[in-house]
Amino acid sequence: MSTNLQQITQEVFELERSLNERWSAGDNRGYLDNYHQDISYFDPALECLLVGRDAVVDHIQKLYKNPHIVRSEYLNPHVITSEAGDLAVLSYNLRTYIADANGAEQLLRAWNATEVYRKIAGAWRIVHSNWGLTKSMTVATAS
């Protein structure tokens, strides 16, 4: 991997991690402020695609409650970048943990996440977001 692609991969992954850590600590504005005006967004709580920053922010604001996540695991991160270096697709598995009644960690959710970042005016912005639960089917099947 070229140095430039390595740098893009690191920038995008670290930005995603910082946005997610803010979310986990009770501050959802990191993601919401980063979304591009024309973002497209898939959420497992919805049956349809959301398009546009206002629609996505409105949806998240209605659902969001501080999750009090104590730890996150970022597994299998993979970034594909455009040849021009202005588009990056980040895919990873995210596991989030909360404290149970005894203070021990308990898995809250396991996600498959894909974020498409585009460099706009020198800043990486999310232009597409897709979140899916890793165990959403009871039987593995392709149809």
Q: What is the pLDDT of residues 23-76, one digit of tens each?
A: 999 999 999 999 999 999 999 999 999 999 999 999 999 998 888 999 999 999
- Tell me the domain boundaries of the chain: 3-133
Confidence at 96, pLDDT banded by 50, 70, 90: very high
Please tell me the predicted confidence (pLDDT) of residue 4.
87
CATH 3.90.1150.10 fits 3-133, yes or no: no
DSSP 105: E
Mean pLDDT estimate for the chain? 92
> Closest by alpha carbon to 129, among 21, 66, 49, 64?
49
The pTM assigned to this predicted structure is 0.90
Taking CA atoms, 82 is separated from 18, 67, 86, 118, 119, in Å, by 23, 34, 6, 10, 11
Q: Which helix (H) or strand (E) holds 11?
A: helix 3-24
Query: In terms of pLDDT, which residue wins out, 61 or 3?
Result: 61
> pLDDT, tens digit, for every residue of 127-136?
999 999 997 6
Percent of the chain at pLDDT > 90 equals 86
